[in-house]
Amino acid sequence: MSMDDSQRNSFVLQIANMLENDKISLDEQDPKILEKYEKFASNELRIEDSDTAEIINEAFLYLKMQHSTDIDPVKEGDRFAAGFS
């Protein structure tokens, strides 16, 4: 299933909300902890397995940028490998 930008953004926000509710560190790397979000993305949101890691990473990026007051996403997006232009 191909997703449009609106749908992708919705998925990112849903996962970001879940991460915040679970109080997960924005630097979390433990595969056992991240597995919960991969399963949610795959089973509940029906995101293709090949896209789940990328969507989850975008959720972390979104939260990092949202919580940082000294980062301008447009100017500093490349620092996070975000495609803002």
pLDDT one-digit tens code per residue, 25-77: 999 999 999 999 999 999 999 999 999 999 999 999 999 888 876 665 555 55
The answer to whether residue 85 sits within a structural domain is no
The answer to whether residue 30 sits within a structural domain is yes
User: Would you place residue 80 in the very low, low, confident or very high pLDDT band (cuts 50, 70, 90)?
Assistant: low
pLDDT in the model for residue 66: 85
Pair 81, 64: CB distance under 8 Å:
no
Tokens (6 digits) for 47? 């995101």
The answer to whether residue 69 sits within a structural domain is yes
The answer to whether residue 21 sits within a structural domain is yes
What is the C-alpha separation between 46 and 39, in angstroms, rounded?
Answer: 9
Please give the residue range of the domain that contains residue 51: 5-80
User: Would you place residue 84 in the very low, low, confident or very high pLDDT band (cuts 50, 70, 90)?
Assistant: very low
pLDDT one-digit tens code per residue, 22-31: 999 999 999 9
The letter for the amino acid at 17 is N
What is the C-alpha separation between 38 and 77, in angstroms, rounded?
Answer: 24
Structural domain count of the chain: 1
The answer to whether residue 34 sits within a structural domain is yes
Q: Identify which has the larger pLDDT, 18 or 68.
A: 18
Nearest 5°: CA angle at 23, between 21 and 28?
A: 125
The answer to whether residue 55 sits within a structural domain is yes
